[in-house]
Structure 1
Amino acid sequence: MGLELELHSSRPANSNWKKSRTTLVMGSYDHGNALAEVLTWLPNDGSTKLSLIDPWRDTLFNEQEAEVALKEIPDLLQRCSDPRHAAAVQDLEQLLRACSRTPGSYLWFMSD
């Protein structure tokens, strides 16, 4: 189980991988397993924005959702004792911040 992250300038055409490349701004493909592990620490009740990310199904956040999720990063980062987990959360933070600052953008959490 792992997650890859992609920031898109507009809603990605997830049913057509080639077409979705036209909106790709940046991606993160190196921390998928560590990020999935970190997300299991969150309550599974939807009480946080990041807890809505499903490691078995693709999830999209728009810029407003990314802005809300950014507020959850400091707490999550504080819980990281393993450098792999901290790197994954920092990478997520960078992409959430970029998404929140880019009108019309989407952050795509792509599951295995």
Structure 2
Amino acid sequence: MSIEIALYDGRPNNGRRTGPALLHLSTGHGGDLAEALAAHAGPSDHRLRRIDPYGDTLLNEQDAGATFEEATALLSRCTTEAQRAAVRDLRNLLAHCAATPGSWLCLYGD
């Protein structure tokens, strides 16, 4: 199980002839990110619990901003340095998405 993260300047697959521009792709922490998210013990209404490790999850800029605090809490519960690095990467991309109007963060599970 692995999760890759892509940050786009617009919504992916929105029917445009040309897709949105890829701003950043994170593939180096997939397995560790999946492990950290699986151990997340937050309520079911938290956005991190909605990330599908086997499918795709889209977050717009508002979702990314709200999810940033959840990722900060998750960081303190990580048990390995590899998990902490993965969650830090996620937090950085969430912050970037929240600060970029119209952007979308896509989490691709396998």
Q: TM-score, normalised by structure 1?
A: 0.88
Q: Give the Cα–Cα distance (whole angstroms) in 2 for the partners of residues 111 and 13 of structure 1.
A: 17
Structure 1 position 81, deviation (Å): 2.6
More deviation, 95-104/45-54:
45-54
Q: Give the Cα–Cα distance (whole angstroms) in 1 for the partners of residues 107 and 96 of structure 2.
A: 14
Q: Give the Cα–Cα distance (whole angstroms) in 2 for the partners of residues 9 and 89 of structure 1.
A: 22
Match of 1:27 in 2: 25
Equivalent residues of 1:7, 1:99 under 8 A apart:
yes
Change (3 A) 1:41 1:13: same
Structure 1 position 43, deviation (Å): 4.2
Structure 1 position 46, deviation (Å): 2.6
SS at match of 1:72: helix
Structure 1 position 12, deviation (Å): 1.2
In structure 2, what residue type is equivalent to 1:31? H
Equivalent residues of 1:12, 1:23 under 8 A apart:
no
Q: Name structure 1 gaps, 5 residues minimum.
A: none
Q: Name structure 2 gaps, 5 residues minimum.
A: none
In structure 1, what residue type is equivalent to 2:29? H
Equivalent residues of 2:72, 2:91 under 8 A apart:
no
Aligned CA-pair RMSD: 1.9
Q: TM-score, normalised by structure 2?
A: 0.90
In structure 2, what residue type is equivalent to 1:42? H
